[in-house]
Structure 1
Amino acid sequence: MADTLIKICGLQDVEVLKSMKILPLDFIGLVFAPSRRRVSAEAASALIAELADWQTGKIPGAAGVFVNPGIQELEELLTVAPLDVVQLHGQESPQFCREVKQAFPQVQVWKALSVAGRTPDAAADIHTLLEGYAGTIDALLLDTYDPQESGGSGRTFDWEQIPLYQQAAAKYALPLFIAGGLRPDNVKELLDGYAPYGVDVSSGVESSGSKDIAKMTAFVERVKQS
């Protein structure tokens, strides 16, 4: 089985990022949506520049997190901060995702979906939803539904729904990342039970609202050992 990809999201501080260069990461996440973790285009550019001399041999990709952006907003930001991934966390339609892919062929487009309660027709609904996005995105990310926030809630969702999404994602060849409340002490349970393509962590590797190198290291080690 291929190694699970790891993304650590919500980076803001260059010195913290420098301390992470020993970690075998696949992506870092930079938040441009309203959030306490939000960074400016200029700050993102400085963070992305630090990725060039990553010490594990593989340079992580830079994923930018957006909520309902406009094409012009993305164009202006990408001019300053050369992202590898545009990660959409709002109500972006398949048509908008297609427009982003066409406008910026140099980046991947990921769509985040919020997972709420299970419905009687969940399997059919999920297949219909993903069929709409097939061909318009490069990956799918599941996060915990929160009426106040578009991610970063620090809470898990009902993992028993993951197989429904995995089945539909596999049908449309969409890699599936899992986010929402992951921590060093629960990520192994997720991996053992569901073997996702990738995991995405933010608040679960923080202490007092800041990224904690000990927690990040522990998280990565748990993933790599599974």
Structure 2
Amino acid sequence: MTVEAKICGLSTPETVEAAVRFGARWVGFVTYPPSPRHISTETMRVLGAGVPAGVGRVGLFVDPDDALLDEKLATGVLDLLQLHGAETPQRVAAIKQRTGKPVMKVIKVAVPRDVERGVADYAAVADRLMFDAAEGTLPGGNAKVFDWTILSGHRVPVPWFLAGGLTPDNVAEAVRVTAAGAVDVSSGVESGRGVKSVELIRAFLARTASL
């Protein structure tokens, strides 16, 4: 089983280069000012332009309006839009239609019903789903793990990512329990809040490559 890995919240050339060099399939850029991982449009343009073909570039948005989407998409460096707010299925469909980009909707998970409702509401309108911990002060990147057994045995009809408190130490167990085909990490490869570590990125990607 090949597990794809996404390193989210990248903000420097060195950490983007590390993610690419050590085998990330996806790199993520945050467009949410309250987050310590937020970067400017120009920084996103520069970082994204240096990512080689074959590595997907993801923009993380939280309830974006059309103007923000237009501004970030004008950089030409986003391949996938990650919606991490309270976007309705109708809004997800509208964003996909308006931008022409594939869309991933994040589902916040605390109890089994969250997964069932998320799949029922969004699988028909999103290209991908991501299951993340509901707990935390930010929409994501809170270093919080949810009960992975909630996902065990679930059939999800679109490709999906597992997120929420993943680290080099627990990602193998997380994949074993959930059978996730893709994983997303942000805080789990940081030396400080919002500060990515090249060594932790290397360790995380080495672990996922062995799964």
TM-score exceeds 0.5: yes
CA displacement at 1:128 relative to structure 2: 4.2
Q: Which protein is bigger by CA-based radius of gyration?
A: 1
Q: What is the distance in 1 between the residues matched to 2:139 and 2:29? A: 14
Q: 1:198 to 1:142 in 2, by over 3 A?
A: same
Aligned residue in 1 for 2:187: 203
Aligned residue in 1 for 2:174: 190
Q: What is the distance in 1 between the residues matched to 2:127 and 2:67? A: 21
Q: 1:22 to 1:129 in 2, by over 3 A?
A: closer
CA displacement at 1:147 relative to structure 2: 5.1
Q: Count the aligned residue pairs.
A: 209
| Preserved CA contact (<8 Å) 1:98 1:137 | yes
SS of the counterpart of 2:165?
coil
- Please identify runs of 4+ aligned residues in structure 1 that moved more than 6 A: none
Q: 1:147 to 1:217 in 2, by over 3 A?
A: closer
Percent of pairs identical after alignment?
Answer: 36
Structure 1: where are the runs of 5+ without partners? 53-57
Tell me which of 137, 140, 159 is aligned to 1:175: 159
Query: What do the CA deviations read for 1:162-183 (whole angstroms, capped 9, x no partner)?
Result: 126x32x1xxx21121111000
Aligned residue in 2 for 1:134: 123
Aligned residue in 2 for 1:60: 55
SS of the counterpart of 1:6?
strand
Aligned residue in 1 for 2:85: 90
Q: What is the distance in 1 between the residues matched to 2:35 and 2:137? A: 11
Of 60-69 and 12-21, the range deviating more from structure 2: 12-21
1:30 alignment partner AA: F
CA displacement at 1:66 relative to structure 2: 0.8
SS of the counterpart of 2:150?
helix
Aligned residue in 2 for 1:220: 205
Aligned residue in 2 for 1:29: 28
Q: 1:192 to 1:35 in 2, by over 3 A?
A: same
Q: What is the distance in 2 between the residues matched to 1:17 and 1:133? A: 30
1:155 alignment partner AA: K
SS of the counterpart of 2:49?
helix
SS of the counterpart of 1:153?
coil
CA displacement at 1:221 relative to structure 2: 1.1
| RMSD across aligned positions (CA) | 1.7
| Preserved CA contact (<8 Å) 2:18 2:202 | no
SS of the counterpart of 2:74?
helix
1:98 alignment partner AA: A
